[in-house]
Amino acid sequence: MLGLKLPRLLSIHQVPKVFQEQGILFGYRHPRSSATDCIFSLFQMTNETVNIWTHLLPSGYFLWKLFVLLFAWDVWNDPFTWPFLTYMVTCCLYPLASTFAHTFSTMSSQARHICYFFDYGALALYSLGSAIAYSAYVFPEEWIDSAFHQGYIFIAVLNAVLSTSLSCYSRFTEAERPRFTKAIRIVAFAYPYAFDSLPLFYRLYLCTTRGCSESVIPTHYSHVLFAFLTCFIYATHLPERLVPGLFDYFGHSHQLFHICGITGTHFQMESLLLDMTDRRDRLLAFSPTPSFSQTVGPMVTSLTISLLIIAAFSTTLYSVPKFSRREKHRD
Protein backbone atom coordinates (compact mmCIF):
# COMPACT_ATOMS: atom_id res chain seq x y z
CA MET A 1 0.00 0.00 0.00
CA LEU A 2 2.88 2.37 0.75
CA GLY A 3 4.08 1.99 -2.82
CA LEU A 4 0.68 2.66 -4.35
CA LYS A 5 0.97 5.10 -7.23
CA LEU A 6 -2.00 7.42 -7.52
CA PRO A 7 -3.15 8.60 -10.97
CA ARG A 8 -1.45 11.79 -12.14
CA LEU A 9 -3.46 14.98 -12.29
CA LEU A 10 -3.88 17.18 -15.36
CA SER A 11 -4.24 20.86 -16.14
CA ILE A 12 -7.25 22.41 -17.82
CA HIS A 13 -5.49 22.38 -21.21
CA GLN A 14 -4.96 18.61 -21.02
CA VAL A 15 -8.61 17.62 -20.80
CA PRO A 16 -11.45 17.97 -23.34
CA LYS A 17 -13.73 20.98 -23.08
CA VAL A 18 -16.60 18.97 -21.61
CA PHE A 19 -14.46 18.26 -18.52
CA GLN A 20 -13.26 21.84 -18.03
CA GLU A 21 -14.63 24.04 -15.25
CA GLN A 22 -14.50 27.82 -15.31
CA GLY A 23 -11.73 29.17 -13.08
CA ILE A 24 -10.36 25.71 -12.20
CA LEU A 25 -6.90 25.39 -13.77
CA PHE A 26 -5.42 22.23 -12.25
CA GLY A 27 -6.27 19.06 -10.39
CA TYR A 28 -8.24 17.32 -13.14
CA ARG A 29 -8.39 13.54 -13.26
CA HIS A 30 -7.68 11.72 -16.51
CA PRO A 31 -10.80 11.77 -18.72
CA ARG A 32 -10.38 8.05 -19.38
CA SER A 33 -10.00 6.97 -15.77
CA SER A 34 -10.79 3.41 -14.76
CA ALA A 35 -13.44 2.70 -12.14
CA THR A 36 -10.62 1.82 -9.72
CA ASP A 37 -8.90 5.15 -10.37
CA CYS A 38 -12.19 6.94 -9.72
CA ILE A 39 -12.58 5.18 -6.37
CA PHE A 40 -8.97 5.93 -5.42
CA SER A 41 -9.64 9.60 -6.18
CA LEU A 42 -11.86 9.67 -3.08
CA PHE A 43 -8.59 9.65 -1.11
CA GLN A 44 -6.47 11.70 -3.51
CA MET A 45 -6.67 15.49 -3.48
CA THR A 46 -8.17 16.49 -6.83
CA ASN A 47 -10.47 19.35 -7.77
CA GLU A 48 -13.41 16.93 -7.24
CA THR A 49 -12.46 15.39 -3.89
CA VAL A 50 -14.24 17.92 -1.69
CA ASN A 51 -17.22 17.87 -4.06
CA ILE A 52 -17.54 14.14 -3.44
CA TRP A 53 -17.21 14.22 0.34
CA THR A 54 -19.54 17.21 0.82
CA HIS A 55 -22.33 15.00 -0.50
CA LEU A 56 -21.18 11.54 0.57
CA LEU A 57 -21.11 12.40 4.28
CA PRO A 58 -24.49 14.21 4.27
CA SER A 59 -26.13 11.29 2.46
CA GLY A 60 -25.02 9.10 5.37
CA TYR A 61 -26.39 11.63 7.85
CA PHE A 62 -29.80 11.79 6.16
CA LEU A 63 -29.91 8.00 5.91
CA TRP A 64 -29.16 7.74 9.64
CA LYS A 65 -31.89 10.30 10.35
CA LEU A 66 -34.36 8.32 8.23
CA PHE A 67 -33.69 5.07 10.12
CA VAL A 68 -33.99 6.83 13.49
CA LEU A 69 -37.42 8.13 12.53
CA LEU A 70 -38.53 4.76 11.14
CA PHE A 71 -37.77 3.13 14.48
CA ALA A 72 -39.20 5.99 16.53
CA TRP A 73 -42.54 6.36 14.74
CA ASP A 74 -45.42 3.93 14.31
CA VAL A 75 -45.14 4.27 10.55
CA TRP A 76 -47.60 1.58 9.48
CA ASN A 77 -50.39 2.92 11.67
CA ASP A 78 -49.71 6.63 11.21
CA PRO A 79 -50.17 7.76 7.58
CA PHE A 80 -49.53 11.36 8.65
CA THR A 81 -45.80 10.51 8.71
CA TRP A 82 -45.72 9.12 5.16
CA PRO A 83 -45.15 12.43 3.33
CA PHE A 84 -42.18 13.23 5.55
CA LEU A 85 -40.63 9.78 5.10
CA THR A 86 -41.10 10.06 1.34
CA TYR A 87 -39.33 13.40 1.47
CA MET A 88 -36.52 11.91 3.58
CA VAL A 89 -35.87 9.19 1.00
CA THR A 90 -35.24 11.91 -1.61
CA CYS A 91 -32.94 13.72 0.85
CA CYS A 92 -30.83 10.55 0.99
CA LEU A 93 -31.01 9.96 -2.74
CA TYR A 94 -29.92 13.28 -4.23
CA PRO A 95 -26.56 13.66 -2.43
CA LEU A 96 -25.83 9.98 -3.05
CA ALA A 97 -26.51 10.41 -6.79
CA SER A 98 -24.29 13.48 -6.81
CA THR A 99 -21.52 11.54 -5.06
CA PHE A 100 -21.76 8.82 -7.69
CA ALA A 101 -21.70 11.40 -10.50
CA HIS A 102 -18.65 13.29 -9.21
CA THR A 103 -16.79 10.04 -8.49
CA PHE A 104 -17.26 8.24 -11.81
CA SER A 105 -17.75 11.14 -14.25
CA THR A 106 -14.17 10.91 -15.57
CA MET A 107 -14.44 7.41 -17.03
CA SER A 108 -15.36 8.89 -20.44
CA SER A 109 -17.26 11.83 -21.90
CA GLN A 110 -20.35 9.64 -22.35
CA ALA A 111 -20.06 8.33 -18.78
CA ARG A 112 -19.81 11.91 -17.54
CA HIS A 113 -23.07 12.87 -19.20
CA ILE A 114 -24.90 9.75 -18.01
CA CYS A 115 -23.66 10.21 -14.44
CA TYR A 116 -25.05 13.73 -14.39
CA PHE A 117 -28.31 12.63 -16.02
CA PHE A 118 -28.91 10.56 -12.88
CA ASP A 119 -27.75 13.43 -10.68
CA TYR A 120 -30.31 15.76 -12.28
CA GLY A 121 -33.05 13.14 -12.03
CA ALA A 122 -32.38 12.72 -8.31
CA LEU A 123 -32.55 16.49 -7.78
CA ALA A 124 -35.90 16.58 -9.57
CA LEU A 125 -37.18 13.80 -7.29
CA TYR A 126 -35.99 15.78 -4.27
CA SER A 127 -38.02 18.73 -5.52
CA LEU A 128 -41.08 16.49 -5.76
CA GLY A 129 -40.39 15.05 -2.30
CA SER A 130 -40.34 18.60 -0.94
CA ALA A 131 -43.67 19.33 -2.62
CA ILE A 132 -45.25 16.19 -1.11
CA ALA A 133 -44.10 17.23 2.37
CA TYR A 134 -45.15 20.86 1.85
CA SER A 135 -48.59 19.75 0.71
CA ALA A 136 -49.06 17.77 3.92
CA TYR A 137 -47.49 20.08 6.51
CA VAL A 138 -46.72 23.61 5.23
CA PHE A 139 -49.83 24.81 3.40
CA PRO A 140 -51.54 27.76 5.11
CA GLU A 141 -54.85 26.72 6.58
CA GLU A 142 -56.90 28.93 4.25
CA TRP A 143 -55.38 27.17 1.20
CA ILE A 144 -56.05 23.61 2.38
CA ASP A 145 -58.39 21.71 0.01
CA SER A 146 -58.47 24.68 -2.37
CA ALA A 147 -58.25 24.09 -6.12
CA PHE A 148 -54.56 24.96 -5.97
CA HIS A 149 -53.95 22.47 -3.15
CA GLN A 150 -55.79 19.71 -5.01
CA GLY A 151 -53.69 20.20 -8.15
CA TYR A 152 -50.42 21.02 -6.37
CA ILE A 153 -48.88 17.52 -6.38
CA PHE A 154 -49.93 16.85 -9.97
CA ILE A 155 -48.19 20.04 -11.11
CA ALA A 156 -45.16 19.14 -8.99
CA VAL A 157 -44.89 15.81 -10.82
CA LEU A 158 -45.00 17.66 -14.16
CA ASN A 159 -42.34 20.06 -12.89
CA ALA A 160 -40.10 17.14 -11.90
CA VAL A 161 -40.43 15.64 -15.37
CA LEU A 162 -39.74 19.03 -16.96
CA SER A 163 -36.74 19.57 -14.70
CA THR A 164 -35.19 16.22 -15.62
CA SER A 165 -35.83 16.79 -19.33
CA LEU A 166 -34.40 20.32 -19.47
CA SER A 167 -31.35 19.58 -17.35
CA CYS A 168 -30.48 16.44 -19.33
CA TYR A 169 -30.96 18.32 -22.62
CA SER A 170 -28.62 21.06 -21.40
CA ARG A 171 -25.68 18.67 -21.54
CA PHE A 172 -25.99 18.58 -25.33
CA THR A 173 -25.51 22.35 -25.62
CA GLU A 174 -22.80 23.11 -23.06
CA ALA A 175 -19.82 22.81 -25.43
CA GLU A 176 -21.05 25.41 -27.95
CA ARG A 177 -23.45 27.51 -25.82
CA PRO A 178 -22.27 27.50 -22.18
CA ARG A 179 -24.29 30.55 -21.09
CA PHE A 180 -27.47 29.16 -22.63
CA THR A 181 -26.75 25.84 -20.92
CA LYS A 182 -26.27 27.52 -17.53
CA ALA A 183 -29.54 29.43 -17.96
CA ILE A 184 -31.45 26.24 -18.80
CA ARG A 185 -30.11 24.41 -15.74
CA ILE A 186 -30.90 27.30 -13.42
CA VAL A 187 -34.47 27.45 -14.73
CA ALA A 188 -34.77 23.65 -14.59
CA PHE A 189 -34.23 23.65 -10.82
CA ALA A 190 -35.15 27.17 -9.70
CA TYR A 191 -38.65 27.06 -11.20
CA PRO A 192 -39.75 23.81 -9.41
CA TYR A 193 -38.31 25.17 -6.16
CA ALA A 194 -40.21 28.45 -6.55
CA PHE A 195 -43.45 26.62 -7.32
CA ASP A 196 -43.05 24.15 -4.45
CA SER A 197 -42.36 27.02 -2.06
CA LEU A 198 -45.43 29.12 -2.88
CA PRO A 199 -47.32 27.87 0.22
CA LEU A 200 -44.27 28.61 2.37
CA PHE A 201 -43.73 32.05 0.85
CA TYR A 202 -47.36 32.91 1.54
CA ARG A 203 -47.05 31.84 5.17
CA LEU A 204 -43.89 33.91 5.56
CA TYR A 205 -45.69 36.86 3.97
CA LEU A 206 -48.59 36.52 6.41
CA CYS A 207 -46.18 36.40 9.34
CA THR A 208 -44.47 39.54 8.09
CA THR A 209 -47.66 41.54 7.50
CA ARG A 210 -49.90 40.23 10.28
CA GLY A 211 -47.40 38.92 12.77
CA CYS A 212 -47.27 35.38 14.12
CA SER A 213 -45.79 33.45 17.02
CA GLU A 214 -44.90 30.21 15.22
CA SER A 215 -41.52 29.00 16.44
CA VAL A 216 -40.79 27.34 13.08
CA ILE A 217 -40.64 30.58 11.08
CA PRO A 218 -36.93 31.39 11.74
CA THR A 219 -36.00 27.88 10.60
CA HIS A 220 -38.02 28.35 7.41
CA TYR A 221 -36.20 31.65 6.81
CA SER A 222 -32.84 29.90 7.26
CA HIS A 223 -33.82 27.34 4.64
CA VAL A 224 -34.88 30.05 2.17
CA LEU A 225 -31.65 31.97 2.75
CA PHE A 226 -29.47 28.95 2.00
CA ALA A 227 -31.61 28.07 -1.03
CA PHE A 228 -30.95 31.56 -2.41
CA LEU A 229 -27.22 31.27 -1.69
CA THR A 230 -27.13 27.88 -3.42
CA CYS A 231 -28.64 29.33 -6.59
CA PHE A 232 -26.47 32.46 -6.46
CA ILE A 233 -23.21 30.55 -6.06
CA TYR A 234 -24.09 28.08 -8.81
CA ALA A 235 -24.96 30.89 -11.23
CA THR A 236 -21.96 33.13 -10.57
CA HIS A 237 -19.01 30.71 -10.28
CA LEU A 238 -17.66 32.78 -7.40
CA PRO A 239 -14.98 32.97 -6.13
CA GLU A 240 -12.83 31.06 -8.67
CA ARG A 241 -13.85 33.22 -11.62
CA LEU A 242 -12.23 36.23 -9.87
CA VAL A 243 -8.90 34.47 -9.15
CA PRO A 244 -8.54 31.48 -11.51
CA GLY A 245 -6.31 28.76 -10.09
CA LEU A 246 -6.44 29.87 -6.46
CA PHE A 247 -9.45 27.72 -5.52
CA ASP A 248 -8.69 24.61 -7.56
CA TYR A 249 -8.81 22.31 -4.52
CA PHE A 250 -10.54 24.21 -1.73
CA GLY A 251 -13.22 26.88 -1.71
CA HIS A 252 -14.44 26.88 -5.31
CA SER A 253 -18.09 27.52 -6.11
CA HIS A 254 -19.21 23.93 -6.58
CA GLN A 255 -17.99 23.01 -3.11
CA LEU A 256 -19.80 26.03 -1.65
CA PHE A 257 -22.84 25.12 -3.75
CA HIS A 258 -22.88 21.64 -2.18
CA ILE A 259 -22.41 22.96 1.35
CA CYS A 260 -25.14 25.60 1.04
CA GLY A 261 -27.52 23.12 -0.61
CA ILE A 262 -27.04 20.52 2.11
CA THR A 263 -27.34 23.14 4.86
CA GLY A 264 -30.56 24.38 3.27
CA THR A 265 -31.89 20.81 3.15
CA HIS A 266 -31.05 20.39 6.84
CA PHE A 267 -33.02 23.50 7.78
CA GLN A 268 -35.87 22.40 5.51
CA MET A 269 -35.96 19.00 7.22
CA GLU A 270 -35.98 20.57 10.68
CA SER A 271 -38.73 23.03 9.74
CA LEU A 272 -40.87 20.25 8.29
CA LEU A 273 -40.46 18.23 11.48
CA LEU A 274 -41.60 21.24 13.53
CA ASP A 275 -44.59 21.90 11.26
CA MET A 276 -45.58 18.25 11.27
CA THR A 277 -45.52 18.17 15.07
CA ASP A 278 -46.93 21.59 15.93
CA ARG A 279 -49.62 21.78 13.23
CA ARG A 280 -50.76 18.16 13.26
CA ASP A 281 -54.11 18.62 15.04
CA ARG A 282 -55.03 21.74 13.07
CA LEU A 283 -54.14 20.19 9.72
CA LEU A 284 -56.02 16.96 10.39
CA ALA A 285 -59.07 19.03 11.32
CA PHE A 286 -59.08 20.55 7.84
CA SER A 287 -58.29 17.50 5.71
CA PRO A 288 -57.94 13.69 6.02
CA THR A 289 -54.60 11.99 6.54
CA PRO A 290 -52.47 11.55 3.40
CA SER A 291 -53.01 8.29 1.52
CA PHE A 292 -50.41 5.97 0.02
CA SER A 293 -51.42 7.10 -3.47
CA GLN A 294 -50.87 10.75 -2.52
CA THR A 295 -47.33 10.17 -1.26
CA VAL A 296 -45.56 7.15 -2.74
CA GLY A 297 -47.75 7.14 -5.87
CA PRO A 298 -46.50 10.47 -7.32
CA MET A 299 -42.93 9.56 -6.44
CA VAL A 300 -43.07 6.20 -8.24
CA THR A 301 -44.71 7.85 -11.27
CA SER A 302 -42.07 10.56 -11.46
CA LEU A 303 -39.23 8.08 -10.92
CA THR A 304 -40.48 5.86 -13.74
CA ILE A 305 -40.81 8.75 -16.18
CA SER A 306 -37.42 10.19 -15.17
CA LEU A 307 -35.70 6.84 -15.77
CA LEU A 308 -37.28 6.67 -19.23
CA ILE A 309 -36.06 10.21 -19.97
CA ILE A 310 -32.55 9.37 -18.80
CA ALA A 311 -32.55 6.21 -20.90
CA ALA A 312 -33.64 8.19 -23.97
CA PHE A 313 -30.92 10.83 -23.54
CA SER A 314 -28.29 8.17 -22.79
CA THR A 315 -29.19 6.32 -25.96
CA THR A 316 -28.87 9.56 -27.91
CA LEU A 317 -25.27 9.95 -26.72
CA TYR A 318 -24.30 6.83 -28.62
CA SER A 319 -26.65 7.18 -31.57
CA VAL A 320 -25.59 10.66 -32.73
CA PRO A 321 -22.17 10.25 -34.39
CA LYS A 322 -21.15 13.92 -34.29
CA PHE A 323 -21.82 14.08 -30.56
CA SER A 324 -19.88 10.90 -29.90
CA ARG A 325 -16.89 12.26 -31.82
CA ARG A 326 -17.06 15.81 -30.52
CA GLU A 327 -15.02 15.38 -27.36
CA LYS A 328 -12.16 13.06 -28.25
CA HIS A 329 -9.36 13.38 -25.76
CA ARG A 330 -5.94 14.67 -26.68
CA ASP A 331 -3.50 12.46 -24.71
Question: pLDDT tens for residues 18-75?
Answer: 999 999 999 999 999 999 999 999 999 999 999 999 999 999 999 999 999 999 999 9
Sign of the four-CA dihedral 49, 55, 60, 61: positive
Answer yes or no: is 76 within a domain: yes
Asked if 54 contacts 259 with a C-beta cutoff of 8 angstroms, the reply is yes
CATH assignment at residue 312: 1.20.1070
- The b-or-e profile of 157-178 (16+ CB within 10 A means b, else e) is bbbbbebbbbbbbbbbebbeee
Answer yes or no: is 1 within a domain: no
Answer yes or no: is 315 within a domain: yes
Range of the domain at 250: 28-319
Answer yes or no: is 141 within a domain: yes
Domain count, the chain: 1
pTM of the model: 0.94
Answer yes or no: is 11 within a domain: no
Q: Using a pLDDT cut of 90, give the percent of the chain over it.
A: 85
- The b-or-e profile of 50-67 (16+ CB within 10 A means b, else e) is bbbbbbbebbeebbebbe
pLDDT confidence bin for 2, thresholds 50/70/90: very low
pLDDT digits (tens, 9 = 90+) for 268-314: 999 999 999 999 999 988 888 888 888 999 999 999 999 999 999 99
Answer yes or no: is 261 within a domain: yes
Answer yes or no: is 329 within a domain: no
Answer yes or no: is 181 within a domain: yes
